[in-house]
Structure 1
């Protein structure tokens, strides 16, 4: 155990594309959110932008970022975030996840992708918190819930577990005037109600229970990190707290805290 470690909450946040960092509201929302939390001993980040099975652990030393986007202005490729690596956290994750029939990959050259570093730049701008990124090994909600459960003991070691996705994610629904397509609004409202009611069964079955799920999420990788967060924060499922609940260019930024 880390001496004097806080039991950390668990977050699911909507990280956005790189231009979200230029939004007049979102950076301040994330800065205020992180300021309200105990400072973590380390961050374990599960981003929608890294799918690999079996579970893979990224760099445990400071390596270059992964600019996994195309066609943006040059300044987005000049962002730097030299957070310390987290080798001790990686070892803890290995111990929690390894077992009969379960492997953990090491990908030591893989840096943080934009689903990880874009929000962290706003939350911990001094890059003084060690960060480890872990892959999404599947998009199956129940398997991800179980993965989150296995990771939950890290919270007592002062580790902030963050699922980074987007509460709705259909790039065809992006707008330039701030309007919101009814499908995005309806899915977001359904999700708000399911979270408020702690209706985990409905959330797990969102592809059948939510309104127009395949329009809100043509592919579900941006919703998937929510289930890692719900598993890691299972003891607080009765009281998830929405911290950010507005929209960016028509997509729902709903972001929650457990604990």
Structure 2
């Protein structure tokens, strides 16, 4: 694939956990999705697993991954994803955000966490596209949409902006659900799908109150929050939103959406 000269889409994906690699279906879905995309010049990742204020830029050269999970078999800790750093993209992010009055800090030793590298291993396994991860400085949906709007010009420079979370995420409730798809997960997934299709941004912003079972689907909202960075970056293309992946994994909705 040649690096695109066209405007890149903006993505929100459900990133799974390290065992995603062993799932018989999901890795292929992610690979098929990336095969349909223009080849990005660089990838900007916003993961549910990095909250840091002020907004922080991660490593701009290859550093070890952040294996931010516990209790898994040893081979999950041996995964590597040595994508090139993206110092030029980091400079562009600083200019866009600081120009809009948003403070930015650098944490050069902070590698990609599993919300970033787990899906990237499946989507871009050659690890030959520069990747920059930035933190979520807040969980406030309105503020995250504003960050996304400020980052949106990067799409015209061939940058793929990816918000990485999980469309429903309540591991504690899953442990007591008795297996299958919990009703709270199915109900929230259906509501969120319809809200995105209808471009009902107001309802999405107020998802904790406007959605069915919002408190169970997201008792803490960090896994839904990256969607709002994506929505901000996608303004102007919200009418082109489509679910590329749906269904459930261990009872959690793995809905993943592309705008543009």
Residue 137 of structure 2 is matched in structure 1 by 137
How does 1:28-177 map onto structure 2 within 5 Å? 28-99=28-99, 101-174=101-174
Instruction: Give the distance between the partners of 2:152 and 2:14, measured in 1 at CA.
Output: 21
- Give secondary structure in 2 for the equivalent of 1:45: strand
Computed over aligned residues only, the root mean square deviation of the Cα atoms, in angstroms, reads 1.4
TM-score by structure 1 length?
0.96
Contact 2:4/2:40, CA 8 A, preserved across alignment? no
Residue 210 of structure 2 is matched in structure 1 by 209
Residue 240 of structure 1 is matched in structure 2 by 241
Residue 252 to residue 100, structure 1, CA distance change in 2 (3 Å): closer
Contact 1:6/1:156, CA 8 A, preserved across alignment? yes
Long gaps (5+) in structure 1: none
Instruction: Give the distance between the partners of 1:87 and 1:102, measured in 2 at CA.
Output: 19
* Deviation at residue 5 of structure 1 after TM alignment: 2.1
* Deviation at residue 174 of structure 1 after TM alignment: 3.3
- Give secondary structure in 1 for the equivalent of 2:232: helix
Residue 191 of structure 2 is matched in structure 1 by 190
Structure 1 segments, 4+ long, off by >4 Å, are 175-178
Long gaps (5+) in structure 2: none
Instruction: Give the distance between the partners of 1:100 and 1:196, measured in 2 at CA.
Output: 30
Paired residue total? 257
Instruction: Give the distance between the partners of 2:5 and 2:198, measured in 1 at CA.
Output: 31
Contact 1:14/1:254, CA 8 A, preserved across alignment? yes
* Deviation at residue 77 of structure 1 after TM alignment: 0.1
Contact 1:52/1:135, CA 8 A, preserved across alignment? yes
Instruction: Give the distance between the partners of 2:100 and 2:246, measured in 1 at CA.
Output: 41
TM-score by structure 2 length?
0.96
- Give secondary structure in 2 for the equivalent of 1:142: helix
Deviation string 1:183-214 (CA, Å, 9 cap, x unpaired) is: 10000000011011000000001011001211
- Give secondary structure in 1 for the equivalent of 2:46: strand
* Deviation at residue 96 of structure 1 after TM alignment: 0.2
Worse overlay, 93-102 or 21-30: 93-102
Instruction: Give the distance between the partners of 2:214 and 2:178, measured in 1 at CA.
Output: 24
Deviation string 1:47-74 (CA, Å, 9 cap, x unpaired) is: 0000001110000000000000001000
Worse overlay, 227-236 or 169-178: 169-178
Contact 1:198/1:239, CA 8 A, preserved across alignment? no
Residue 250 of structure 1 is matched in structure 2 by 251
* Deviation at residue 103 of structure 1 after TM alignment: 1.3
Instruction: Give the distance between the partners of 2:224 and 2:165, measured in 1 at CA.
Output: 6
- Give secondary structure in 1 for the equivalent of 2:239: coil
Instruction: Give the distance between the partners of 1:77 and 1:140, measured in 2 at CA.
Output: 32
